[in-house]
Chain A
Amino acid sequence: MGKVKNHVIALLLLVILFIIGGCGKGKSTKGPLIESDAPNKVYVEPGKYDEFYGFVSGGFSGQLAVYGLPSGRLLRVIPVYSQNAENGWGYTEETKPMLNTSYGFIPWDDSHHSELSMKDGVPDGKWIFINGNNTPRVARISLGTFRTEEIIEIPNSAGNHSSPFTTPNSDYVVAGTRFSIPVENRDVPISSYKENFKGALTFIKVAPDNGKMSIGFQLITPGFDYDLSHAGKGPSDGWFFFSCYNSEQAHTLLEVNASQKDKDFIMAVNWKKIEELVASGKGTDMTANYAHNVYDDKKHSATSEMIKKVRVLKPADVQGALYYIPCPKSPHGADVDPTGEYIVGGGKLATVIPVFAFKKMVSAIGNKEFDGDIDGIPILKYETVLAGEVKDPGLGPLHTEFDDKGFAYTSAFVSSEIVKWKVETREVVDRLPVYYSVGHLMIPGGDSKKPWGKYLLSMNKITKDRFLPTGPELNQSAQLIDISGEKMKLLLDFPTVGEPHYAQGIPADLVAKNSVKIFKIEENQHPYATKSEKDARVVREGNIVHVYMTAIRSHLSPDNIEGVKASDEVYFHVTNLEQDWDIPHGFTIMGNDNSELLIMPGETCTIKWTPKSPGIYPFYCTDFCSALHQEMQGYMRVSDKNSNVPITFSSNYKKEDTK
C-alpha cells in the first residue's frame, strides 16, 4: 500500500514538473517588478570596487569564475581542470603536469563546488578549493595569485561529488564518492553491485602553512551514492555529515530504482576520533596509484608525482565513529547552521525539510537508540534525532544556506523558488520565485560560523527567456537577492560561466589586500629563465632547439632566428622582463598547433612547437602591451631537415645598454 502511495506522489511530482517545464513556452514570466531602489543597490560606480568576491564554480567548464558582488561583474575565470588556450594553461610545458592523472593527461573536468579555506570556522581568504567530479580530484587555488597551485587525485573514488568541503580550520578537505565502485577497481559483473561496490569517503589533510594536500585516510563504506557534505562546527566540531542516496543499491535505472525507499541517509562521521585511530595505527595501507600535482610560483612550473599507497579504514576499524541518520527521499544537501547545532537535509523528492539536532544525535548515540545497522554502522532513529521538519518548503528542496539573524534559505528546484525559514521554529517566513530551477544558493559565509547576511546568490539551471536569445545553447545564470530585510528582494540577473553549482563569497578586503601584482624577476627560479636581454639566445641540442627569449615593451629578443629545421622540437622559453603591474606579453608563431602564451611580469612560460615544413614563420606578441605592440614581432627561418644552415639569431641587445 505504501509503495502505491509513493508511486502516486512520484507521478504527481512528475506532472508538476511538466507543468512548470511548460511555463516558459507560454506567456513570458518575467517575475515580479523589482523594488525601485534595486538599481542603486547593485550599481558600482566605474572605478569603484565591489563589496564581495563571489567564487562561482564553472561546472562542466571545469573552471572557477570570480565575480564582483553586488554588481555581478565577471572579474576573472581561473583555469583549473580544463585547458585554457587563452593563457596556455594545460598547454605550456610548465602547466601540463597539473592535468596529469592515473588515467594520463586529462584536459577537462566537471568542477562542482568551491569552498574557501577557514580559520575558526570563518573564511580566511587564503585559498579556495574546488572538486573535479568526473576524474576524481581536488584542486587548491591561491587567492594571492588567483592561480591553481595544487591538484590531488582521489583513488578508489568515482565521481567526486561531496567535495571539497572543509573542517572549521581547514585541517581536512573531504572527497566523498558519488558512484560506488569496486575497491580496488577491477573487472566484475555490474550485477555484483551489492557484493563488490563500495563508497570511499576521503579525508585530505591540508598543511596549515602552505596548504599542501595529502590524503590522510579513506573510509571504505557501504556502496551508496555519497552526494554532499558539510563539517560540524562549534558543538559539532569534530564531525562531518555526508548525505547519500541509493541506499537501495540499484545499479540500473536509478531514477526509479533508487527512489523506492522512504528514507536514505545522512552519514555522521566522527573524523576527530578516526584521526586518533589512524594515529594509533588503525587501518591498512592499500596499494594505490594517484597523481599529486604541485605548481611552484618561483620556478613557474608544476611537477606531477604518482603516489602509491593510501590508508584505508573499514567500518569495523572505526567502531563508534560512523552512524547513519535516516533522511527522507534521496537527500541532496547536508548543511550545518552557523551555531553548529542543526543539520539540515535536503530531499530531492521530499515534501518536508528535516532538521536534525546535534545534541539529540549525541544522546541517541549515548543511549544506543539504534534501529539496526548496515555493515556494522548503527542506524539512528529518525524521530529521535529530529529537531523538527519544515513543512511546505517548496518542491524539490536541495540546499540550505544561513544568514546571521537565525534564518535559513533553502533552494527548491522543482517549484523554482527560495524559501526563507526560521531555524529555531522551522516556520516558513518568506518565499521568492527565481528564474528558473535553482540548484545551489550562496550567502557570503553562509555555510560558515559567520555569515555576512546581506546578499544571496541563486544559481539557476534554466534561463530561457531571461536574456537576449543566443540560439539553442544558453548560458546559465545567477540571481542576486537582497536578504538584509524581512522580505527577500530580487536585485539582479547575470549570466554565468559553464554551470554554476556551488559558490562562495567573502568580503573583498579579506582577499584584495593580498593580491599579487607581479612576479619578482630576481626570484624567478625557472631553469630556462632569461633574466636579461644579453642572455637571450638559441641553443641546439640534437634535434631539440631551446629558444631563450625575452619580452619587454616593445620587442622580443632574439627576433630573427635561423638554423631551425623541419621536424625539430622547438621550445620557446619566453621570459617577461617587465616589473610593472598589468603588463603581460603574449607569444605565438604561425602554424602553432599548441596554444599561445600569456606571460605575466617576471614569469617564464614555455611552448613546444614542431615545424613540419621549411619556410619563414612569423612570431609576435599576442597581448596589446604598448603603443608599439604591432612592432613586437620577429621571424623564424625553418630549413629542410637535411640542410646545414647553422643556428644564428639577432637580438635587440646593445652593448652600450649595460655600460
Chain B
Amino acid sequence: MVAVYFVPVWEITLEAPQYPEGLGFEIWINKMTGDLNTVNGLNHYIGMKKIEPDSIKELTYMPYFLGFLLITLLFTAWKNKKSLLMVWVAVFIVFGIAGGIDFYVWEYDYGHNLDTTAAIRVPGMTYQPPLIGDKQLLNFVAHSYPSYGGFILIISGILSVLLLFYELKFNKYEK
C-alpha cells in the first residue's frame, strides 16, 4: 500500500477523432498529472469549471488519511488482535466508500455546475464522467478506471476482508 504514494490512483481518458494519441489525466493521492490544460481548454466550451489541483482539498487530505491507515495497520499487526483488525477493516471499507462518494460528488459538480453563458449549451445535457466505466459525452468518449494505485487499494481491501474472514473462521483459538 506504500506504493500508492508513488503511482496514480485513478485515470480519466478521453477519446475523440482529433486526439489519436489519446487525451486524459491521472489522479494521484496528492496531485493530478496529464493533459489537464488541454482538457480545461476544451471544457470551457461547455462552461465546465477549470480543474485546478491546487483548489481540490482532497489532494491535501488524502496522503494523511492513507498514512493514518498504514500506521494503524502496523499497530494492528503488532498487537495481533482480531478485534483491532475488525475495526481497521471497517475503517478501510468506510474510507473506500467515502472516497467513492466524494469522487462521485466531485464529478457531479463538474458535470452539472456549468456556466450558463457557455458557448455550447445542449438542453438537458450534462457532462459528468462515469464513476467507473465508459460514457459518451458529445464528441468524446470518457473512460474512468482505477490506475495502479486504485488497483492496489482495491486488492488491499479484498485481501484485508479475506484475512478477517480467515481469522474469524479458522483461527478461533487465538485472541
Contact = CB atoms under 8 A, between A and B. Distances in A.
Interface of A: 552-554, 578-581, 627-628, 631, 657, 659
B50 A579 contact: no
A49 to B, nearest CB: 13
Interface in B18-47: 21, 35, 37-38, 41, 45
Interface string B47-71: 0001010010000000000000000
A318 B41 CA distance: 64
A579 B45 contact: no
A523 to B, nearest CB: 15
B119 interface: yes
Q: 4 tightest A-B contacts by CB?
A: A580-B38, A579-B37, A659-B55, A628-B119
Contact of A659 (B35, B38, B52): B52
A72 B1 CA distance: 55
Contacts of B119: 554, 628, 631
Contact of B41 (A553, A581, A659): A553
Contacts of B45: 553-554, 627-628
B154 to A, nearest CB: 33
Q: Which of A580, A628, A631, A659 counts the most B-chain CB atoms under 10 A from its CB?
A: A580
Nearest to A578: B41
B41 A552 contact: yes
Contact of B50 (A552, A578, A581, A657): A657
A580 B52 contact: no
Nearest to B20: A47
B116 to A, nearest CB: 13
A54 B35 CA distance: 33
Contacts of A578: 41
Contacts of B37: 579-580
The size bracket of the interface on B is 10 to 19
Given A628-B45, A628-B119, A657-B50, A579 B38 contact: yes
A659 B105 CA distance: 20
B16 to A, nearest CB: 12
Contacts of A631: 119
Contacts of A553: 41, 45
A16 B65 CA distance: 91
A578 B119 CA distance: 18
20 contacts: A552-B41, A553-B41, A553-B45, A554-B45, A554-B119, A578-B41, A579-B37, A579-B38, A580-B35, A580-B37, A580-B38, A580-B41, A581-B21, A627-B45, A628-B45, A628-B119, A631-B119, A657-B50, A659-B52, A659-B55
A554 B118 CA distance: 12
Contacts of A580: 35, 37-38, 41
A380 B46 CA distance: 79
Contacts of A627: 45
Given A553-B41, A580-B38, 4 more contacts: A552-B41, A579-B37, A631-B119, A657-B50
A541 B118 CA distance: 37
Interface in B113-172: 119
A657 B48 CA distance: 11
A557 B52 CA distance: 22
Contacts of A579: 37-38
B24 to A, nearest CB: 13
A250 to B, nearest CB: 60
B56 to A, nearest CB: 11
Contacts of B35: 580
Nearest to B52: A659
A659 B51 CA distance: 11
Nearest to B44: A553
Nearest to B37: A579
Nearest to A553: B41
A578 to B, nearest CB: 7
B44 to A, nearest CB: 8
Nearest to A626: B45
Contacts of B21: 581
Interface string B77-119: 0000000000000000000000000000000000000000001
A482 B41 CA distance: 48
Nearest to B55: A659
Contacts of A659: 52, 55
Contacts of A657: 50
A580 B21 CA distance: 11
Nearest to B119: A628
A554 B41 CA distance: 10
B106 to A, nearest CB: 16
A581 B41 CA distance: 13
Nearest to A47: B20
A534 B21 CA distance: 31
Nearest to A521: B37
A580 B19 CA distance: 10
A553 to B, nearest CB: 6
Nearest to B35: A580
Q: Which of B21, B41, B50 counts the most A-chain CB atoms under 10 A from its CB?
A: B41
A631 B118 CA distance: 13
Contacts of B38: 579-580
Contacts of B55: 659
Nearest to B18: A582
Nearest to B42: A553
A612 to B, nearest CB: 35
A578 B35 CA distance: 12
Contacts of A581: 21
A533 to B, nearest CB: 11
A169 B35 CA distance: 40
Nearest to A552: B41
A524 to B, nearest CB: 14
A627 B16 CA distance: 14
Interface string B3-25: 00000000000000000010000
A659 B54 CA distance: 10
B115 to A, nearest CB: 9
B82 to A, nearest CB: 48
A579 B35 CA distance: 9
A554 B38 CA distance: 13
A626 to B, nearest CB: 8
A631 B119 CA distance: 10
Nearest to A631: B119
Nearest to A654: B115
A631 B120 CA distance: 13
A532 to B, nearest CB: 12
Nearest to A581: B21
A579 B42 CA distance: 12
Contacts of A552: 41
A190 B67 CA distance: 89
A578 B38 CA distance: 8
Contacts of B50: 657
A657 B119 CA distance: 16
A375 B106 CA distance: 86
A157 B113 CA distance: 69
A628 B120 CA distance: 10
Nearest to B21: A581
A189 to B, nearest CB: 66
A333 B31 CA distance: 62
A553 B120 CA distance: 13
A353 B104 CA distance: 79
A657 B38 CA distance: 15
A553 B41 CA distance: 7
A488 to B, nearest CB: 38
A439 B93 CA distance: 78
